[in-house]
Structure 1
Amino acid sequence: MSTLGPVVGCRPGSVELHPPGSAPACRPHLWERSRIEWHSRDGGDPLAILSAFLIDAGLPVSDLSRSRTVTDSVCGAAILLAPPSAVASPAPSVPDLVAVVFAHSPSPGVRPGDHPAARPGRPAPGQDFPASPADPAPSRVGLWTPSWTTAEHAAAVEAVRAAIARGDVYQANVVGHASAPLTGDPRTALARVAALPGARYGGVLEGADSAWWVACASPETLVEVSDGRAVTRPIKGTRPATGQGRAELLASAKERAEHIMIVDLERNDLGRVARTGTVRVDDLFAIRRWSRLWQAESTVSAHLAPGVGLRELLAAVWPGGSVTGAPKLAAVDVVSALEPVGRGPSMGAAGWIGHTPDGRLHVDLGLTIRTVAVADGLAHVWAGGGIVWDSDPAAEVAEAAAKTAPIKAALTA
Structure 2
Amino acid sequence: MVHETPLADHFPTPPSGSLPGAPASCQGRHRALTAFEWFCCDGGDPAKLVAEFLAGNGLDVRNIGRTATQVHPTGAGSLCGAALYVSAAAGSVMAGGPSGPPTPVPAIPDVYAVVHVHTADGAPSVQSPAQAHKSGEWRPGDQGLGEWWLGEWAPSWTPKEHAAAVDAVREAIGRGDVYQVNVVGHASAPYRGDPAAALRRVAALPGARYGGVLTGDGWALATASPETLVEVRGGRVITRPIKGTRPATEQGRRELLASAKERAEHVMIVDLERNDLARLPALGPVTVDELFAVRRWVNLWQAESVVSAPIVAPLDLADLLRAVCPGGSVTGAPKLAALAEINALEPVGRGVSMGGVGWVAPDYLDLGLSIRTVAVDGERVHAWAGGGITWDSDPTAEVEEAAAKAAPIRAALAA
Tell me which interval the TM-score lies in, with the shorter structure as reference length: 0.7 to 0.9
Query: What secondary structure, in the 3-state scheme, does the structure 2 residue paired with 1:345 have?
Result: coil
Q: Which amino acid aligns with 2:274?
A: R
Partner deviation per Cα, 1:154-187 (whole Å, 9 max, x = no partner): 0000000000000000000001100000111100
1:166 matched to which residue of 2?
175
1:279 is aligned with what amino acid? V
Q: Does 1:157 align with 2:166?
A: yes
Q: Does 1:62 align with 2:62?
A: yes
Shift in CA distance, 276/78, structure 1 to aligned 2, threshold 3 Å: closer
Whole-angstrom distance in 1 between the partners of 2:292 and 2:11:
38
Structure 1 contact 200–219 (Cα < 8 Å) conserved: yes
CA RMSD in angstroms, aligned pairs only: 2.1
**Residues matched between the structures, number:** 380
- Range moving further from structure 2, 1-10 or 402-411: 1-10
Report whether the alignment pairs 1:268 with 2:294: no
CA contact (8 A) 1:64 1:304 kept: no
Q: Deviations over 1:128-160 (max 9, x none)?
A: xxxxxxxx6442110000000000000000000
The 1:313/1:363 distance shift into structure 2, 3 A limit, reads: same
The letter of the residue matching 1:27 is Q
Q: Specify the alignment match of 1:412 in structure 2.
A: 414
Would the aligned equivalents of 2:28 and 2:124 in 1 still touch at CA under 8 Å?
Answer: no
Letter in structure 2 aligned against 1:188 = A
Name the SS for the 1:178 alignment partner: strand
Identity of counterpart residues, as a percentage? 58
1:49 corresponds in structure 2 to 49
Unaligned runs of 5+ in 1: 121-135, 356-360
Q: Which runs of 4+ in 1 moved over 6 A?
A: none
Instruction: Find out whether 1:235 has 2:242 as its counterpart.
Output: yes
Which residue in 2 is equivalent to 1:132? none
Q: Report what 2:330 is aligned to.
A: 323
Which residue number in structure 1 is paired with residue 102 of structure 2?
88
Match for 1:216 among 190, 210, 223? 223
Q: Secondary structure at the match of 1:394?
A: helix
Partner of 1:123: none
Q: How far is 1:277 from its partner?
A: 5.2
In the alignment, structure 1 residue 4 sits paired with structure 2 residue 8: yes
Q: Which amino acid aligns with 2:201?
A: R
Q: Name the amino acid aligned to 2:412.
A: A
Find the counterpart in structure 2 of residue 204 from structure 1: 213
Q: What is the CA distance between 1:43 and its match in structure 2?
A: 2.2
Q: With structure 1 as the length reference, what TM-score do the two structures score?
A: 0.88
CA positional deviation for 1:295: 0.3
Supply the distance in 2 between the matched residues of 1:190 and 1:64 (Cα, whole angstroms): 31
For 1:49, give the aligned amino acid.
Answer: L
1:25 offset after TM fit, Å? 1.9
Q: Following TM superposition, by how much is the alpha carbon of 1:371 offset from its aligned partner in structure 2, in angstroms? A: 0.4
What is the Cα deviation at residue 65 of structure 1? Answer: 5.5
**Which of the numbers 346, 354, 365 marks the counterpart of 2:353?**
346
The answer to whether the 8 Å contact 1:169/1:331 transfers is yes
Report the CA distance between 1:92 and its aligned residue.
0.6
Counterpart Cα distance in 2 of 1:400 and 1:92: 24
Distance 1:144 1:17 in 2: 28
The one-letter code matched in structure 2 to 1:255 is: E
Match of 2:16 in 1: 16
Structure 1 window deviating more from structure 2 (30-39 vs 160-169): it is 30-39
One-letter amino acid of the structure 1 residue matched with residue 62 of structure 2: S
Q: Establish whether residue 311 from structure 1 lines up as the match of residue 315 from structure 2.
A: no
Residue 388 of structure 1 aligns to which amino acid in structure 2? T
Matched AA of 2:9: G
CA distance in 2, matches of 1:204, 1:213: 7
| Pick aligned residue for 1:75 from 67, 77, 80 | 80
Distance in 2 of aligned mates of 1:406 and 1:89: 23
Please give the alpha-carbon distance, in whole angstroms, between the structure 1 residues aligned to 2:80 and 2:169: 44
Match of 1:144 in 2: 153
Structure 2 gaps, min length 5: 90-98, 134-144
CA distance in 1, matches of 2:379, 2:230: 32
